[in-house]
Amino acid sequence: GAGVSQSPSNKVTEKGKDVELRCDPISGHTALYWYRQSLGQGLEFLIYFQGNSAPDKSGLPSDRFSAERTGGSVSTLTIQRTQQEDSAVYLCASSLSGTSLSDTQYFGPGTRLTVL
Amino acid sequence: QQQVKQSPQSLIVQKGGISIINCAYENTAFDYFPWYQQFPGKGPALLIAIRPDVSEKKEGRFTISFNKSAKQFSLHIMDSQPGDSATYFCAASRGNTGKLIFGQGTTLQVKP
């Protein structure tokens, strides 16, 4: 079966522009997560969706970042007025329920964002 | 505030040797501790995970050792192979939030 897919795989943008990153989770997975991986850094949690609602947005770094999920499936992470410090790999993960302690999170390949 | 600290940052091991990566956590409410393996250009993939009610879990060549009192856990890779060369991340989560707090990662190189 298909895994988590993300698009685009690479995105180069100019400072100040808005970008949208897309995540298609594994079919049937109700939980969806966004993480950010900066060069040489670990993965930083951004936001968690349970269905279409986001009970935990605590990792979003500023109000320039927002995310939505529709139909309990596809999610879009939007970064407005991009800054150079936004350059990173943005990873999406999904899990079956998100409410089980040992629910495995399956990661997509990520979108590498470069802000010039 | 970094809640999960991982060491070493990088590790070079000869083929057949034992690779050991250590992690320490601060939040005693954490109750799930997975290790993820990441190859260049790929997303992380779950390797092995443990809960704090056991002190050790083994899957093939991979073993997690867990010390609840010290708030530390480690990954041991026995008979390390060049194909194990990757970046390894420890992580921790609390309750049923699902949110993973990751360590900084360890880049492992296994020399033939």
pLDDT tens-place string over residues B83-99: 999 999 999 998 666 78
- Cα separation, B101 vs A105, whole angstroms: 13
pLDDT at B94: 84
Calculate the average pLDDT of chain B.
93
The structure tokens listed for A72 are 């309990």
- Position A101 scores a pLDDT of 62
Residue B18 above 90 pLDDT? Answer: yes
Chain B interface with A: residues with Cβ < 8 Å: 4, 6, 31-32, 36, 41-46, 49, 51, 89, 91, 93, 95-105
Predicted pLDDT of residue A39 = 80
DSSP B41: T
Q: What is the pLDDT of residue A42?
A: 82
pLDDT for res A98 = 63
- Cα distance from A1 to chain B (closest Cα, Å)? 16
Among all chains, which residue has been given the structure tokens 């990088």? B10
How far apart are alpha carbons A98 and A48 in whole angstroms? 9
Angstrom distances, CA of residue B78 to CA of A25, B51, B64, B86: 33, 21, 11, 15
φ and ψ at residue B84, rounded to 5 degrees: -85, -10
Quote the pLDDT of residue B7: 96
Best of A5, A21, A37, A43 to substitute, by most chain B Cβ atoms within 10 angstroms, is A43
Residue-level pLDDT at A100: 66
DSSP helix/strand/coil, A2: coil
Res B17: pLDDT: 97
Q: Give pLDDT, residue B96.
A: 64
Q: What pLDDT, on the 0 to 100 scale, is given for residue B2?
A: 63
Q: Residue B22: what pLDDT?
A: 98
**Taking chain A (116 residues) in consecutive chunks of 10 residues, what is each chunk's mean pLDDT?**
91 98 95 91 91 92 95 95 96 84 87 97
Q: What is the DSSP string of B55-102?
A: SEEEETTEEEEEETTTTEEEEEESS--GGG-EEEEEEEB-TT--PPEE
Chain segment B50-79, per-residue pLDDT in tens: 998 899 999 999 999 999 999 999 999 999
Spell A50-69 as b/e; 16+ CB within 10 A means b.
beeebebeebbeeeebebeb
Closest CA–CA distance from residue B32 to any residue of chain A (Å): 7
| Model pLDDT, residue A2 | 82
Q: What single DSSP character describes residue A25?
A: P
Residue A103, pLDDT score: 81
